[in-house]
Amino acid sequence: MPNENAAVSKRLPDSDGNPQQSHFVATEAFASIFEVLQGKGYTVIGPTIDQHAIVYDQVRSLQDLPQGWTDRQGAGEYRLERRDDNALFGYVVGPHSWKHFLFPPAMTVATADKTASGWTFQTPEDDPPKYAFLGVRACELAAMRVQDRVFMAGPYVDPAYHQRRSGALIIAVNCSQAAPTCFCTSMGTGPQCTSGFDLALTELTDGFVIAAATRDGEEILSELKSRPATVEELRQAAAVTQRAAEQVERRLDTTNIRDVLFANLDHPRWDDVAQRCLSCANCTMVCPTCFCSSVQEVSDLSGQHVERQRQWDSCFNFDFSYMNGGVIRDTTRSRYRQWLTHKLASWIDQFGSSGCVGCGRCIAWCPVGIDLTEEVAAIREPTS
C-alpha cells in the first residue's frame, strides 16, 4: 500500500516535455523569493493594488501583493472585493498586462539637437532593468508568445522588446478561479500554464506547489526552503486548476472563424455594434496582444531639441489610418470591424495564430460592455 503522504518521485513534464520534480514551499518560506530574485539583480514586477484595481508594478515583498483580495468582473464591470482567505494570487486578471514592461507605452527612440554645424542625431541608450515577472497567468503566457512573433520573429526585430524579453524571468501562477469574462478554454490558452515559464506555481492554502522548467527556475527554487511535494499536494494543485477550468463559462466558437468573419464584412451587426461603441480605444489598451504604436516628433519650445517618441496607438483612434490627406477608416463601424477581423482573422494570416488569448480584459474594460464573443456569435447568425 503506497504512503499517500510520502514525498513523490513522480516528475511532471516541463515546458520542453522533460521530467521535473514539483516542490512544496510554505507561504512563509515563499516570502524569501523577493530577496533571492533581488540578489540576482532582478527587478520584480508583480500584482499589487492601485486605484481600486490589481495592476502590475514593482513589488518588493509579500506585503505588496494583493493578499486577501479578489476581483469581480463582468461586461463593463471590474470591482475588488475581500476574500475570506489570505490568498496571494486569488484574483483573475486586471487592466494591466506584461506588455506594459516589454513594450512600454511611451519611449523616446531618437533625438535631434541643433548645433552650430547642423543637426546631430542620436539614439538614446536603452538600459531596461532585468525583469522577473511574478504571477503570469496561462493566457498571459500565450499573449507573450503572440507578441514574441510580432516583435521578434519577422525580418525586423524590435530592439526594445527584444532586450526586455530576452532578459526576463517568468514566474507563472496557475489560475485558481475564472471570471465570467474569461474564455481561455475556447482559445486553448488556459487555465493551466504549460509552457513559456521558468517557474510555475499553484497556490494552496498554506503554500505553493512549484515546478521549475528551466535552469534559471531550478536555481531560484533551490534557494527557497522547499521539499518534494506529496501526492496529496499534487492532487490539491491539480484540483485548483480543474476548478478554474470548470468555472470558465464564456465561449467563443472559433470554428472557421477567419472565413466566417471575412465572408461577413457587410453583416448588419457591424452597424449595430457601431451604435454602442464609443471608439474610446480602451479594449486595445488593455489587450495583452495589441501592439500598434505611432511615432511623433516633439520639439522643445526653443526648437533646438527634438525627440522622436513612440507611443501606443489604437486602430480605434480616428487619425490612426490617416494617410495622404485622408483617414481610411472614418467610421466607428469600420474601426470596430477592423479591430475584430484583425484580432480573429487576418492575424492568423499574418502571424499564424489568433490575436486573442481569451483573457476577457476587453469585455470588462469596455465602458459600454461590448463583448467580442457576443459579437462573433451574432455575426455567425444568417442575415435575413
Residue 289 binds to ligand SF4 (criterion: CB under 6 A): yes
Cβ 371 to ligand SF4 shortest distance, Å: 9
How far apart, in Å, do the first and last CA atoms of the chain sit? 66
Cβ 139 to ligand SF4 shortest distance, Å: 7
By beta-carbon proximity to ligand SF4, the closer residue of 212 and 287 is 287
Of residues 54, 168, 370, 376, which one binds ligand SF4 by CB under 6 A?
Answer: 370
Of residues 43, 67, 214, 279, which one binds ligand SF4 by CB under 6 A?
Answer: 279
Residue 221 binds to ligand SF4 (criterion: CB under 6 A): no
Burial of 366 from C-beta contacts in 10 A (0-12 / 13-18 / 19+): buried
Residue 360 binds to ligand SF4 (criterion: CB under 6 A): yes
Cβ 179 to ligand SF4 shortest distance, Å: 11
* Binding flags for ligand SF4, 310-329, as an x/- string (CB under 6 A): ------x-------------
By beta-carbon proximity to ligand SF4, the closer residue of 65 and 281 is 281
Q: Which stretch binds ligand SF4 (CB under 6 A): 43-51, 119-127, 201-209, 278-286?
A: 278-286
Cβ 78 to ligand SF4 shortest distance, Å: 13
Residue 182 binds to ligand SF4 (criterion: CB under 6 A): no
Residue 257 binds to ligand SF4 (criterion: CB under 6 A): no
Please give the C-alpha separations between residue 98 and each of 48, 144, 167, in angstroms, as whole numbers. Answer: 13, 8, 14
By beta-carbon proximity to ligand SF4, the closer residue of 190 and 358 is 358
Residue 144 binds to ligand SF4 (criterion: CB under 6 A): no
By beta-carbon proximity to ligand SF4, the closer residue of 129 and 369 is 369
- Number of chain residues interacting with ligand SF4 (CB under 6 A): 25
Residue 306 binds to ligand SF4 (criterion: CB under 6 A): no
Residue 142 binds to ligand SF4 (criterion: CB under 6 A): no
Of residues 366, 371, 376, 379, which one binds ligand SF4 by CB under 6 A?
Answer: 366
By beta-carbon proximity to ligand SF4, the closer residue of 241 and 289 is 289
Residue 281 binds to ligand SF4 (criterion: CB under 6 A): yes
Helices 332-341, 269-276: axis angle to 10 degrees equals 110
Residues forming contacts to ligand SF4 in the complex (CB under 6 A) are 277-283, 286-289, 316, 343, 356-362, 366-368, 370, 372
